[in-house]
């Protein structure tokens, strides 16, 4: 069954996306952010499905009644982060204040020579991970991305930065081929970035607790780490408002001294541990969560 998030239509046409990107590069970040206000207002009015999903999430993360202004702030935060992808991919970072925390944990993982799985989420900006390329030019960054989802945005971004296409491992191929591609990249010592908070079509998953409710999360990244022995590092690129981003790295070693006979039990525990860290940062930066669909088990909007 195709996941709900995969069935939702992409917001905006290709020409509209490219036109806005052109304005963003010509007019600069401050002016482009002002133009986001009418754009966000339009989508707030017409995307009732995403609006309702936002409200469900915000009620759980904020732990209070949610107003329309909260949902509007959620949409606007997403739009700002999406806009900044343009500048992060083109190396034009006008006045951005990017603070990196605990990069030593990433260095330690990479120095083991087994590659590294950089595990992120749809919380904040995953494009901020490209700052790693500037700090570790000796390491090749590969990004797991589903090319069948958000084609307009992906095509536009690859036009801006042709190198992006070389970095992408297409997640829309069959599972066997995908596992081989990732395994080969890790064998070469690459840094493979994956998002672990959405279940793809046909992907194995487990049910965990997230914000006091049951949710399904994929186990593929954790199976890969177990199979390859590659170290895992968690990544959170949090938009803090204005021009500020906070990039956090955390070592993640859920399989130390794990008996094979208890593999299934420990896999679920590993996914739950990831869910707890994701929950922690979602509470810290609540408007950074960009899963605008029914996320929890048995939830509907």
**pLDDT tens track for 22-75:** 778 888 888 999 989 999 999 999 999 999 999 999 999 999 999 999 999 999
Average pLDDT over residues 162-182: 78
Q: For the stretch 156-195, what's the b/e string if a residue is b when 16 or more beta carbons lie within 10 angstroms of its beta carbon? A: bbbebbeebeebebebeeeeeebbebbbebbeebbbbbbb
The residues facing 121 across adjacent strands are: none
Predicted pLDDT of residue 40: 93
Average pLDDT over residues 129-144: 75
Name the token pair of 58. Answer: 């915000």
State the maximum Cα–Cα separation within the chain, in Å, rounded to a whole number. Answer: 59
Name the token pair of 126. Answer: 């995953």
Token pair 């960054």 is found at: 141
Is pLDDT at 1 greater than 60 in this prediction? no
Predicted pLDDT of residue 135: 65
Q: How far is CA 32 from CA 26, 36, 39, 71, 74, in A?
A: 9, 7, 11, 21, 18
Of 103-117, 148-162, 222-236, give the lowest mean pLDDT range: 148-162
Is pLDDT at 223 greater than 70 in this prediction? yes
Average pLDDT over residues 122-146: 79
Mean pLDDT of the chain: 84
The larger pLDDT score, comparing residue 144 to residue 284, is at 284
Taking only the tens place, the pLDDT of each residue in 196-217 is: 999 987 788 999 999 999 999 9
Is pLDDT at 298 greater than 60 in this prediction? yes
Q: Of 20, 28, 57, which Cα lies nearest the Cα of 293?
A: 57
Predicted pLDDT of residue 65: 96
Taking only the tens place, the pLDDT of each residue in 64-78 is: 999 999 999 999 999
Q: How far apart are CA 82 and CA 76, in angstroms?
A: 10
- Say whether 276 sits in a helix, a strand or coil: helix
Q: How far apart are CA 140 and CA 222, in angstroms?
A: 21
Q: Is residue 247 a contact partner of residue 131, using CB atoms and an 8 Å limit?
A: yes
Other C-beta atoms closer than 10 Å to the C-beta of 59 total: 14
Q: At what angle do helices 14-27 and 68-89 cross, to 10 degrees?
A: 70
Extents of the domains making up the chain: 4-288
Q: How far apart are CA 33 and CA 248, in angstroms?
A: 25
Q: Is residue 75 a contact partner of residue 44, using CB atoms and an 8 Å limit?
A: yes
Nearest 10 degrees: Cα torsion 221, 226, 228, 229: 120
With 0-12 / 13-18 / 19 or more C-beta atoms within 10 angstroms meaning exposed / middle / buried, residue 92 is middle
Q: Of 236, 287, 294, which Cα lies nearest the Cα of 79?
A: 287
Q: How far is CA 106 from CA 1, 169, 185, 247, in A?
A: 36, 21, 17, 12
The percentage of the chain sitting over the pLDDT mark of 70, rounded to a whole number, equals 82
Predicted pLDDT of residue 277: 97
Name the token pair of 251. Answer: 């070592």
Name the token pair of 240. Answer: 């803090």
């Amino acid at each position: 069954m195709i996941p709900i998030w995969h069935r939702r239509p992409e917001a905006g046409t290709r020409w509209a996306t490219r036109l806005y990107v052109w304005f963003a590069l010509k007019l600069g970040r401050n002016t482009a952010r002002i133009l986001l206000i009418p754009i966000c207002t339009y989508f707030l009015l017409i995307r009732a499905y995403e609006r309702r999903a936002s409200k469900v999430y915000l009620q759980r993360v904020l732990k209070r009644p949610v107003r329309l202004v909260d949902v509007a702030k959620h949409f606007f935060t997403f739009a700002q982060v999406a806009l900044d992808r343009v500048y992060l991919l083109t190396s034009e970072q006008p006045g951005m204040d990017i603070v990196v925390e605990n990069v030593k944990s990433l260095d330690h993982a990479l120095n083991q020579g087994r590659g590294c799985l950089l595990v992120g989420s749809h919380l904040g900006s995953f494009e901020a991970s490209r700052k790693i390329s500037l700090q570790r030019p000796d390491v090749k960054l590969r990004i797991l991305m589903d090319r069948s989802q958000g084609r307009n945005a992906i095509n536009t971004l690859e036009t801006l930065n042709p190198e992006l296409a070389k970095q992408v491992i297409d997640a829309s191929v069959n599972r066997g081929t995908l596992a081989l591609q990732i395994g080969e990249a890790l064998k070469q010592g690459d840094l493979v970035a994956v998002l672990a908070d959405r279940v793809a079509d046909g992907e194995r998953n487990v049910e965990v607790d997230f914000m006091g409710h049951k949710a399904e999360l994929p186990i593929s990244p954790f199976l890969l780490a177990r199979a390859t022995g590659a170290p895992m590092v968690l990544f959170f690129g949090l938009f803090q408002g204005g021009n500020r981003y906070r990039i956090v790295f955390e070592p993640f070693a859920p399989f130390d001294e794990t008996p094979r006979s208890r593999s299934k039990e420990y896999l679920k525990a590993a996914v739950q541990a990831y869910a707890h860290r994701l929950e922690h940062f979602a509470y810290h930066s609540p408007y950074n969560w960009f899963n605008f669909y029914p996320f929890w088990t048995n939830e509907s909007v």
